[in-house]
Amino acid sequence: MKIPMSVLGRLLPIVAISGTLMLAVPFSATEVSAADIDSSIARGGRLYDKWYKEIGGQAPDETHALWPASNTKKAGEVTNRCKSCHGWDLKGVDGAYGSGSYKTGIKGLTAFAGGSNDAVIAVMKSDAHGYAGKMADQDYVDLANFVTKGQLDMASVINYETKLALGDAAKGEAYYNGLCAGCHGADGKKIKDMEDPVGALARDNPWEILHKIQNGQPKEGMSALRSLPIDVSSDILAYIQTLPE
């Protein structure tokens, strides 16, 4: 069958393998290539953490319109972070944020796992969420990739009752010293502008630390370990929990 050149032009790129023409269907505007997916998901995780910092924007001053009046412990800037409503584990009311100062009663995003980027972006840009026009097109794609393709069942890494990581701290020590200690220090206290040493943070909120191990810190040079086996992140978290206050 002869394929018109006008059709070939729309279907480029064409890859020749063993003399056979393989036509690669272009990605939609809300997808990225397979080679870039891990970096896109990790960046989406940083946007989920604090989107306005990741894009170099101004932090919102007002309390988000969807923040429930029942929660009087949080207001202003922090309520505009995706994680504040849906949790570091993306389980919302059914996860770690089912209690405590971030309790909102808002559901998580687990229903979007494996779903459509378009659906996630439509929710973000809805009048209720109010994020239309606040980010660039690629930002929405990256955040949607994190939600649809990057969700991790943190219960496989963290005991929700004890907050203890389920990894191997002995293995984690070697990973930490090779990957993390250069910035955080052997004792986890090297970064002076952190709220607490990383060991204390890991014991208090292991879900946040796991998220940052996987995806990095917004607008910082922290490496994201998402492309490595999850056991590496689990072992690092277990070791970090042994570090001093």
State both tokens at 237.
């978290």
pLDDT tens for each residue of 118-168: 999 999 999 999 999 999 999 999 999 999 999 999 999 999 999 999 999
Peptide bond into 197 cis (omega under 30): no
Q: Please choose, from the candidates 224, 54, 49, the residue with its C-alpha nearest in 3D space to the C-alpha of residue 139.
A: 54
Between residues 28 and 57, which one has the greater pLDDT? 57
Q: Which domains does the chain have, with CATH numbers?
A: 34-149 (no CATH), 154-240 (1.10.760.10)
Q: What is the CA radius of gyration of the chain?
A: 20
Q: What is the 3-class SS of 176-219, one letter each residue?
A: HHHHCHHHHCCCCCCCCCCCCCHHHHHHHCHHHHHHHHHHCCCC
DSSP 3-state of 114: coil
Model's pTM, two decimal places? 0.86
Partner residues linked to 15 by β-bridges = 22
Q: Please choose, from the candidates 55, 96, 64, 69, the residue with its C-alpha nearest in 3D space to the C-alpha of residue 82.
A: 64
- The whole-number average pLDDT for the span 166-171 is 98
